[in-house]
Every structure is written in C-alpha cells, then in structure tokens.
C-alpha cells in the first residue's frame, strides 16, 4: 500500500489559541465511542463538524459586533484511524455507504491519494511488461522486430520470384510478352509497383466484361525495355487515331 503523509483534520476556526475553547470527550465515553461502527462514527463527526461550524460562525458574528458574549466552545471529533480512512478510500462499497458524511477536504485528499496509487500501479505494470520483453524475447512479444540477418546474394541462383498476375492479363491481350520482363529484378519491381502502372479497361479474349489491364508500353518504359515491333505498332496506332480525328473534323 502506498504510504501517504498523516492526514491533518480541521478542528477550529482562526481564532487565537488563547481565546479558543474546546469541548473534548471525557474518559468515560471514549471506550463507548470506539465501539461505534465506522459508519456511525463518520455520521457523528459530520454532525459535530456542522455544529462546530455553526458555533464558529456565531463567534465571528459576536466578534464583528464587538459584543461581550462569546459563542459556544467547539467539540472534538471522534477518532477515525488512518487505516480506516484507507479502507474507505480503497473499498468502493464502504466509500459509497459513508461518502455523504465525509468532509470535502478529506474527499479531496482521497482523490489525490487514489491518483498517486494509480500512477504507482501504472509504473509497476510498465516495469513488468518491459521485464517480460527482455525475458521472453521477440518470439513471445510481437512488438519487437525480429533480428536482421545479412546475407550475400548469389547472382547465379534464381530467387524463384512468382510471376505477377498483371503479366498474365497482358499476355492474354497481346498473345506474347517480351522475354526481358522475366528477370528476377524486373519481376520484383513489377510486384512492388503494380499499383502505379498505367492501365486501360479492355475486353480480354473469352471474357464478357472489360478488365483493367496494365498498358504494356508504359510497363516497358518504366523498366527501360525497348521492343522495336511494339514501337512500330504504337506508331501505326497513333497514325490511325490522327486520321480518324481528321475525318471527324472534316
């Protein structure tokens, strides 16, 4: 349990000590008060504090009016031990039952003490988690990155890279694919950048609906691959489109 400084309870107003009178419990009644339940003692203390505040207010009024009479002396509170206060603070069921008789300044102390406990508990939880990470290692804690092992690639050995799906569509459309596309480096590049290639909606052979197909010319340009037959085909297509626009304008 977190240790907190001793709780100082308010007992009087700011009247000078020489002028202040107190009514304390006589020895005969102290054992009786100790036998009262915690709830009953809190209730009686609540009533005593309200009565003391009323007496202090009456005394202040007399002092302000410079009247010779003085208010009644204040009464002592019944002892509530620090352990009992901590039980009230840390046990919700007890707190809910007696909170109506707890002074506001003690409620504020309880709130601060609970905050300190929560901060301490959170720190202990983090320490335990960090200890688990160090003890268990990356296999038991997925938040740690697995160790990086450096390897030297063998240029004579294929990396067994899968053919990207987009190349199958391009092949169905053009009935061929340039051989330079199938190097490991180019296949890896296509896998990594497939979403950035230019596409067009095309009806593939045997399909009933148009499909997004990567434009082969754009793909080859990105990979710096030159195919003479494809360039000639593109030139013929450009001339055809230009002729079509000319006839439309005429």
Residues 148-157: pLDDT tens digits? 655 565 555 5
Q: Are the C-beta atoms of residues 76 and 24 closer than 8 Å to each other?
A: yes
Angle in degrees, 0-180, between the axes of helices 104-136 and 82-90, rounded to the nearest 10: 70
Q: What is the mean pLDDT of residues 98-117?
A: 87
Dist CA 15 CA 105 (whole Å): 20
Q: What is the mean pLDDT of residues 114-127?
A: 76
Residues 128-141: pLDDT tens digits? 666 655 555 555 55
Q: What is the mean pLDDT of residues 97-115?
A: 87
Dist CA 241 CA 248 (whole Å): 11
Residue scoring higher pLDDT (175 or 248): 175
Q: For residue 188, what are the contacts with CB-CB under 8 A and spacing of at least 6?
A: 159, 161
Residue scoring higher pLDDT (82 or 16): 82
Quote the pLDDT of residue 148.
60
Tokens of 123: 């720190």
Quote the pLDDT of residue 134.
57
| DSSP for 109-169, written as a single string | HHHHHHHHHHHHHHHHHHHHHHHHHHHH-TTT-TTSPPPP------TTS---PPPPHHHHH
Dist CA 178 CA 216 (whole Å): 10
Strand 211-214 and strand 199-202: the pairing is antiparallel
Please check the confidence at residue 16 and state whether its pLDDT lies above 50: no
Residues 196-222: pLDDT tens digits? 888 988 888 888 888 898 888 888 888
The torsion region of residue 175 among left (phi > 0), alpha (psi -120 to 50) and beta comes to: left
């Amino acid at each position: 349990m977190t240790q907190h400084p001793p709780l100082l309870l308010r007992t009087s107003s700011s009247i000078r000590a020489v002028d202040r009178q107190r009514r304390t419990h006589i020895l005969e009644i102290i054992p009786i008060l100790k036998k009262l339940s915690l709830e009953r003692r809190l209730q009686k203390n609540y009533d005593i504090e309200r009565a003391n505040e009323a007496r202090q207010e009456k005394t202040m009024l007399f002092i302000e009016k410079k009247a010779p009479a003085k208010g009644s002396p204040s009464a002592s509170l019944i002892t509530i031990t620090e352990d009992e206060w901590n039980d009230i603070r840390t046990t919700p069921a007890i707190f809910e039952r007696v909170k109506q008789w707890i002074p506001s300044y003690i409620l504020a102390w309880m709130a601060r003490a609970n905050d300190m406990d929560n901060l301490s508990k959170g720190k202990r939880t983090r320490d335990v988690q960090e200890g688990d990470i160090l003890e268990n290692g990356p296999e038991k804690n997925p938040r740690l990155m697995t160790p990086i092992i450096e390897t030297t690639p063998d240029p004579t050995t294929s990396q067994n890279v899968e053919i990207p799906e987009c190349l199958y569509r391009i092949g169905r459309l053009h009935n061929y694919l340039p051989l330079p596309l199938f190097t490991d480096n180019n296949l890896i590049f296509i896998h990594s950048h497939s979403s950035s290639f230019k596409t067009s909606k095309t009806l593939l052979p045997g399909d009933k609906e148009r499909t997004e197909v990567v434009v082969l010319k754009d793909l080859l340009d990105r990979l710096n691959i030159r195919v003479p037959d494809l360039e000639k085909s593109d030139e013929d297509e450009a001339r055809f489109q230009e002729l079509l626009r000319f006839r439309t304008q005429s």
